[in-house]
A and B are shown apart, each in its own frame.
Chain A
Amino acid sequence: MRTRAKISDRIREFYRNMDWVLFAATLALMITGGFVVKSATAATDPMMFNRQLIWYAAGLIMMFVFANINYNHLLALGSHLYWLFVAILILVLLVGHEALGAQRWIKIAGFQFQPSELMKIILPFAVIRFILVRQKESFTLKNIGKMLLMVALPALLILRQPDLGSALLILLVLFVIFYVGNMPPKKLIILVLAAVMLMPVAYMALKDYQRQRLAVFVNPQIDPLGAGYNVIQSQIAVGSGGLLGKGYMQGTQSQLNFIPIKYTDFVFAVITEETGFAGGLFIIALYFILTMQGLRIVKLSRYSGGKMAAASLITIIFSQFVINTGMNIGIMPVTGITLPLLSYGGTSVLVTMIAIGILQNIYREYMKAE
């Protein structure tokens, strides 16, 4: 009897002090994702749905695993992982697998794997470690320069793949880390101004198709059957959904393949076409709960490292959500950013679940300390 009780205690230890609201929102998104992926892949390949379910299961396990690894260890490992993944990113560029016009995948043990996704977590951790080590000297000019270099290296590698969205996302996360890390306001403002001034330069460095995407973002009608096609068709899909949608699996735009890459980039258009404004609002609400819960963890965490880590993780999830839905409804340019937990794809699900797992851990460490 005693040993049995002990085992149950141990299992309880495994999930004690979890943020159950955050968990519920995560689970709800996953269930929604299951329905969505089923609908979005029905006409393409029904096996994709099964695969996605496996990814969800693996993601849940990963969440629990990371919820039980003290995030401080991860922070400590930050710079090692950073160099490892820089190396992998270079490898991707050399031998990576090309799909949908971008070289983002690498095959590990038969699974396609997207290292830039994981880099989204690792890079902030390396930066946070850097700040934690330097303490008060973190935001001297020299150190800021070092951190920018630290970010620039993987960002450029990702940009080469090319994956403009992820590169910009990393810059945004860096900004949030600085912001939560109490960077002096003057320096923050200068940083933002510098970024704005660099925009035209960055535009010059863009590839033709990327510039085209920006151009059709401003006016999709300049090329309705070419670059503007995605933008127009996804907006038609969303708009035609109306208030209550055309019914699950009944969307004409999605089921008849008028929406391109509908199970990853334009999955939001599929949902809103089939379930209407009601469904769209439901999903936005889930993400909003997730985000606010994450920001609550930022607020609660007693340690600078925990705050910054939690802030970077929730920013990653939230900004991916905004960029993806934004491009589905025509207020963001088209990039390859997926909708966390709703888009089809293993790496995305795993990375998101790892991020949520770490968030849970930060919460649990706070609860333990209380």
Chain B
Amino acid sequence: MVKEDIKENIKNSYKRFVRIKTLMLVFAFVTLVLTGRLFYLQAVKGAHYGRLAQSNCISMIKDRAPRGNIYDRNYRVLAANEPANIVSIIPYHFHQNEDREKAVNEVAKVLGIEPDTVMEKLAEKREYMLEPVQLKRGISVKELSLITELSANITGISVSVEPARVYENGRLASHTIGYVSEISAARLKERRYEKYLPGDIIGQAGVENYYDSILRGEDGVMYILTDAKGRQLDVVRKIESKKGTNVVLTIDARLQAFAENLMERNNYKGVILVSDPKTGEMLAAVSKPDYDLTYFSRRIDLNNWKRLIRNKDNPLNNRYAQGLYSPGSIFKIPVGIGALTEKVVVPTTTFHCEGIYWIRTWPYKCWKRSGHNWMDFYRAVAQSCDIYFYRVGLKMTVEALHKYAVMFGLGERTGIDIPGERQGIVPSREWKRRIDRSPWFPGNTVMMSIGQGYITSTPLQMMNIISAMANYGYAMQPHFFKAATTDGRRIIKRHEHKKLFELKAPKENIEMMRKAMQLVVHAGYGTGGRARVEKLSMGGKTGTVENPHGETHAMFGAFAPYINPELVVFVLVEHGGGGGDVAAPIAGEIFRYWFKVLKEK
């Protein structure tokens, strides 16, 4: 019995020993699992969690840099800055708010925006948890007082002051200056804007966009240590903001205003370009209709914006760089030079104009139905005889027309410092086969030789044709940028003038064309007589462009003085009528204002 008991005891003890050993192993294993997990969190994923911890406690506050000012050539302010109140929300606090919907609705109501837009802003992913997201810029005094009241009850609303863009001159040079607004989500994805962040202000058109990198300056940042309740404890790091560089434009605000007034007075749509042919500096650039920049001051009013977009006249379209027109009779300058250079005609060659020119059974009319009678080179240019150029064009063939069009810079962007410039079309046999899948007909050559048909160009390109004549054979690249300066007007960077193209044509041919252009204005029979300014000799060319939308476009391009020209003017009035009747007087007014008013002072 006793022996049995002892045996059992020993057996039990052994069993216990094994069980305790097992327990030890289990406990050791569990410890190992804990250690493994700790190693994974800290050693493997340490960097990841480190970032998360930082985004928890560091909030970033942007100190927006004021944009550089924009001046005209005489340092008259075109765009400046002014402090504006900005309402932001901190999404983190809103997410913690139990009555989020109500808070969002109240904020939206006070600011007059859709609650959904607020919700969208809340959902945006930001690097820092406590980073404020802008809701509305440039709020009114009334809104400010209401929102301040609200922020007492709702945590996470912040009102800050930031520099905002103001344009004091209304519509003046609006297409050239452009405007600013918050960068769009679509633009953020483009490579050019990869350094921009959501919420950044960016120039959207004109010089504001083209020189954004110079104008915008560097935003300052303040990293603030914040605890879990959102209390700000300490400034960890502060980077001061740097104001953007000022940009001085070549625009003369007085001339610009005068030119705009000429268009507005008659409610004309169209373009006026004034430049200095020797440097390519743009002294004035009008594109009508335009928009009132005060809409874009401080903030964009949504209703005004919608009205602008819906306007059928397309006031947001910068016509001088983006509008494509048939060059019309302006194109007779390249054709004429080409004809002389290719020796198709000599100045004394005459053709008879009967008012209609027949190619087999197809009639091609001259603008003067009764005909011009016998025409030599000078008279043909001065009276803009179409039939003379039909015959010259046919003799030259398309290839030569194409060659001289390209030589005068058509079909290629001028490279002016304005975004969105278009290049236009210079047709050729191959071009027509590719686009239209049809051969080139003699009729096409006829239309092209008077700048109608397939050929299109921007007003800037047409102005360059005149400039090339003014400069005796070359054109400078047109530009608006004169210099970049500090606030103390110390010049940091000056524009380097660049030749855009040079004509490969004998000097005497160019001189003949200039002579013809002088006759356009000064001969009794010239088409541009109404541009005449007392005691000023000039050269010009009218253009009256047929178009399918109604009345002809009136064009006139001119340079003055005839010897050593200082000014090139190009005027285009959409559906204005005859170039000589409508556009030429406008150009004359501009010459008069420049030479008799501005230069006399």
Contacts and interface: CB of A to CB of B under 8 A. Distances in A.
- Physical interaction between A and B: yes
B46 interface: yes
A238 B27 contact: no
A235 B54 contact: no
Interface in B177-228: 225-228
DSSP majority for the A interface? helix
Given A180-B23, A299-B20, A242 B46 contact: yes
B20 to A, nearest CB: 5
Given A277-B38, A329-B38, A239 B56 contact: no
Interface string B24-51: 1001101101110111011101111110
Contacts of B31: 284, 287-288, 291, 322
Contacts of B23: 176, 179-180, 295, 298, 311
> Interface residue tally of chain A, by bracket?
35 or more
Contacts of B229: 257
B359 interface: no
Contact of B43 (A243, A258, A284, A318): A243
Given A243-B46, A258-B228, A299-B20, A253 B34 contact: no
A258 B56 contact: yes
A295 B53 contact: no
B53 A272 contact: no
Interface residues of B, number: 41
Contacts of B141: none
B573 interface: no
Contacts of A311: 20, 23
A318 B57 contact: no
Contacts of A298: 20, 23
Contact of A182 (B12, B49, B50): B12
A295 B54 contact: no
A290 to B, nearest CB: 11
A178 to B, nearest CB: 10
A331 B40 CA distance: 12
B56 A236 contact: yes
Contact of B227 (A257, A287, A326): A257
Given A180-B23, A239-B41, A256 B226 contact: yes
A182 B23 CA distance: 13
A241 interface: yes
Contact of B35 (A182, A242, A281, A318): A281
A240 B49 contact: yes
B16 interface: yes
Contacts of A273: 53
B19 interface: yes
B34 A329 contact: yes
Given A243-B42, A258-B56, A180 B228 contact: no
Given A182-B19, A238-B38, A256 B52 contact: no
B17 interface: yes
Interface string A289-306: 001100100110000000
A252 B20 contact: no
B233 interface: yes
Nearest to B96: A225
A281 B43 CA distance: 12
B20 A237 contact: no
Contacts of B34: 284, 322, 325-326, 329, 331
B95 interface: yes
A280 interface: yes
A322 B54 CA distance: 28
B15 interface: yes
Interface in B220-275: 225-229, 233
Contacts of A277: 38-39, 42-43
A12 B95 CA distance: 63
B19 A180 contact: yes
B20 A239 contact: no
B12 to A, nearest CB: 6
A277 B38 CA distance: 7
14 contacts: A179-B23, A180-B19, A238-B41, A239-B41, A239-B50, A239-B53, A242-B42, A252-B53, A252-B54, A257-B228, A291-B31, A298-B20, A298-B23, A299-B17
